[in-house]
């Protein structure tokens, strides 16, 4: 299927309380910040949201809160992938029941299944729900890569909405796009590749940097969508130092620190992730200031 969404999606962080649990007051403000900035889709409980460190009860609370707070103002996509097909199906059914508009399903990690195993995994998940499913291809994290021929097979599944590509290989991404064009959509999952992925026909982007500057990322997308390539290049050039700052350490460590600098009570990541190192805090603060974000708490 094509057309599930076009535009910008934010891979949202989850603000944790120091004593445990979720800081829903802060999370609500972040949701409002995204919607006010023009974000089309809230991607919650993806990698950036640290679901691997959350209890099932916490995930349910986050899903319920997101649906209630967004109130139809943006589409909601919940992460529901696993290294177990049965667990991915269970999580996907739960997310659908909780009110998700779609699902982001990461490839099975650690197990390192075959390409046929990848196909069977997504076929099973898609068959268990009625809402759109987006594959998430991020081999640097999972050790598994959805090859173009496999994505071509997956594109035939009726509720397969597309793939979030974060493999980092533009040659592979171009070949995947060639094979799935008109069958399902391709989304940028690497902020630094947003422009080239849109240029080959990407339907939109799922961004980490848009946690910090949702309006700026949407402005970039809109420039490209109206055909103003010069302006899109200018805006992406302006975003690149901030994008680089978001990946000085493992995501979402820098993004959380950046949100704190912008005045959000984002907290710090859960172990085994650690707080952003001092040298990298300076990089983030400098990048935010250079982008024009005035209220930066270094």
Q: Which residues are catalytic?
A: 136, 164
| SS3 at position 129 | coil
Task: Write out the two tokens for 216.
Answer: 């700026």
Phi/psi at 117 (5° precision): -65, -40
Which is nearest to 268 in space by CA: 50, 29, 44, 65?
A: 50
Long-range contacts of residues 286-294, Cβ cutoff 8 Å, at least 24 apart? 286/245, 287/241, 287/242, 287/244, 287/245, 288/212, 288/242, 288/245, 288/258, 288/261, 288/262, 290/241, 290/242, 291/213, 291/216, 291/238, 291/239, 291/241, 291/242, 293/212, 293/213, 293/262
Show the DSSP H helices in 226-277 as ranges. 229-245, 253-261
Sort residue 227 into left (φ over 0), alpha (ψ -120 to 50) or beta: left
16 backbone dihedrals φ, ψ, rounded to 5°:
-100, 150
Q: Angle CA(206)–CA(18)–CA(141) in degrees, nearest 5?
A: 35
The Cα 268–Cα 144 span in angstroms is 28
| Helix (H) or strand (E) segment spanning residue 77 | strand 75-79
Give the span between the Cα atoms of 298 and 278, in whole angstroms. 10
- Compute the distance between CA of residue 216 and CA of residue 244 in angstroms, rounded to an integer: 15
Instruction: Give rounded-to-5 percent helix, strand, coil for the chain.
Output: 50, 15, 35
């Amino acid at each position: 299927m094509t057309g599930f969404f076009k535009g910008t999606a934010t891979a949202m962080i989850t603000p944790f309380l120091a004593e445990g649990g979720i800081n829903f007051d802060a999370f609500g403000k972040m949701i409002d910040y995204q919607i006010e900035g023009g974000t089309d889709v809230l991607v919650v409980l993806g990698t950036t949201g640290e679901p691997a460190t959350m209890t099932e009860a916490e995930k349910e609370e986050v899903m319920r809160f997101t649906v209630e707070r967004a109130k139809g103002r943006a589409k909601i996509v919940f992460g529901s992938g696993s290294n177990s097909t049965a667990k991915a199906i269970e999580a996907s059914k739960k997310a659908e029941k909780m009110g998700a508009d779609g699902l982001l399903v990461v490839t099975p990690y650690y197990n390192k299944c075959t390409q046929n195993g990848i196909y069977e995994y997504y076929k099973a998940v898609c068959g268990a729900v009625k809402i759109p499913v987006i594959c998430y291809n991020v081999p640097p994290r999972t050790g598994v890569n959805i090859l173009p021929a496999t994505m071509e097979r997956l594109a035939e599944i009726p509720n397969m909405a597309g793939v979030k590509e974060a493999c980092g290989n533009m040659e592979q991404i171009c070949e995947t796009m060639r094979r799935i064009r008109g069958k399902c959509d391709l989304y940028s999952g690497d902020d630094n590749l947003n422009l080239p992925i849109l240029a080959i026909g990407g339907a939109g982007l799922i961004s980490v940097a848009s946690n910090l500057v949702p309006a700026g990322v949407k402005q970039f997308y809109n420039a490209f969508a109206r055909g103003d390539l010069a302006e899109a290049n200018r805006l992406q050039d302006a975003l690149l130092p901030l994008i680089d700052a978001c990946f000085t350490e493992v995501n979402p460590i820098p993004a959380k620190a950046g949100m704190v600098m912008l005045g959000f009570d984002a907290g710090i990541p859960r172990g085994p992730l650690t707080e952003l190192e001092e040298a990298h805090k300076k990089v983030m603060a400098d990048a935010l200031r250079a982008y024009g974000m005035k209220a930066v708490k270094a």
